[in-house]
Amino acid sequence: MFKNKLVNIMLIILTALTLVGVVAFVLVNHYLHEPDPNAEPTIDEIIAQSFETKDITTNLLSNDYVRASFRIHVDSRSALTEVQKRDFQVNNIILRALSGKRASDLAGPEGIEAFEEDVRLQINELMKEGEVIQVYTTTWVIQ
């Protein structure tokens, strides 16, 4: 390249140092950056770690009926597997909880939130691995 060996050696050393610096920068930023454990889960994580129930229809105490379905978000893959295996128990919990309510108890956002929390707590009592983070109501019809 150049006729002077000293210039060639300097260019090789400079290129090597630059390459080492870039590799070190990438490794530090990519591999040593730990995700924040208190960060809210992304929508992809919620979908990947959630179980959707089938439509559930049952009578209420007030001679009305409700048709609803839910998405149950859990904290780990093992908890998701457990909820999927316990789907009949989850449906039973939801049916029993609904059949003990009146339409007025379930009316409005407060009624739905209270019901979701009640179902979440009851499912967590069953769970051996992991826990339910949130129960989301995906369909809701009271007649």
Q: What is the pLDDT of residues 46-62, one digit of tens each?
A: 899 999 999 999 999 99
26: left (phi over 0), alpha (psi -120 to 50) or beta: alpha
CB atoms < 10 A from the CB of 89, how many? 13
- Give the architecture (CATH level 2) of 43-142: 2-Layer Sandwich (3.30)
Residue 77 pLDDT: 92
Q: Assess whether pLDDT exceeds 80 at residue 114.
A: yes
Average of per-residue pLDDT values in the chain: 90
Q: How far apart are the C-alpha atoms of 17 and 20, rounded to whole Å?
A: 5
Task: Give the global pTM.
Answer: 0.71
Q: What is the pLDDT of residue 46?
A: 87
